[in-house]
Amino acid sequence: MAAVARRLGVAPSTLRTWDRRYGLGPSRHTGGKHRRYCAADIGRLELMQRALLRGASTAEAARYALQQMPKSYSAVPQTPAQPLPPPAEHTAAARNGAAARRLRAAAVALDGRAVQQTLHDAIGAAGVLEAWEGVIAPVLDACGNGWPGTPAGVEVQALLTECVLAAVVRATPVLDHPRNQRPVLLVRAPGEPDPLPLHVLGAGLAGRRIGTQLFGLPLPAPALAAAVRRSSPAAVVLWAGRSAEADPELFPEVSRGGLRSRLFAAGPGWADVELPDRVEPLPGLRTAADRIEYVLVGK
């Protein structure tokens, strides 16, 4: 059981529950009380897991797996197996919850294809900003904190991070005629390790036809000041996810030379930092997108 649990990326207790409730357990008996999974048992569990990744309930997924691979081929039903019913997702919260469960399961199973498909579906259904808040960020946070009962290690976090970045970049339209004449400069504070929030903000602004210039790598203060001077942005958004990187002295460096760019401090790292007078805090990505759009072009 432990080996099968590792293969599927679930907890052994989950396999015991599936065996007890749905009969999807090991069928091969050995000496004593031991029972072992055969290839057919594992195949049924993999079918069930794929159904779960598509959003089926546990009972629906178990029924589907048993229809596709009956335990006794003499008991194969005369009528074809019914297709898996679509999940009942009637509200945004239910839709996001189902997508988050699929994303988590796919990531733990190291199923990159399922991770990418789930991200594609979530972003396509709700847009980048809502998918980030309702699906992606909660799963990333849970992955970073470790999931009780699941073998979520650094390899899971690495796969998830790469897939999220690729999905967000794919969802960022290239603007021929942005609504703003000068770009919004999006940059991480020096030392800030996480590039994903800025990419999400850039995608959200691009979806509103707001042009941006994004630096995926954190720039040291002199390079950041040089980028501002050379691009003459309409606004500068400096992201800090952690207080250790939230240095308010960066803003005088950015505004040196008399440039009239709007200055924004985005991210939770600035929450307890005293900012210069000209700098406006933006606590969340949706708030940031709304405020930047209003300041630059109105609504």
pLDDT band for position 73 (cuts 50, 70, 90): very low
**DSSP sequence for 53-114:** HTT--HHHHHHHHHHHS-SSGGG--SSPPPPPPPP---SHHHHHHHHHHHHHHHHHTT-HHH
Judge contact between 81 and 68, C-beta under 8 A: yes
pLDDT at 148 over 60: no
For range 136-150, the mean pLDDT: 73
Q: How high is the pLDDT of residue 88?
A: 44
pLDDT in tens, 238-271: 999 988 989 999 988 887 755 678 999 999 999 8
Q: Is the dihedral of CA 228, 231, 232, 238 positive or negative?
A: negative
The mean of the pLDDT values for the chain is 83
Q: How far apart are the first and last CA of the chain?
A: 57
For residue 150, give the nearest of 99, 105, 101 by alpha carbon.
Answer: 105
pLDDT in tens, 217-230: 888 888 888 888 88
- Hey, is 1 helix, strand or coil? coil
| DSSP secondary structure code for residue 184 in this structure | E
pLDDT band for position 31 (cuts 50, 70, 90): low
For residue 103, give the nearest of 113, 95, 115 by alpha carbon.
Answer: 115
Judge contact between 40 and 69, C-beta under 8 A: yes
pTM of the model: 0.70
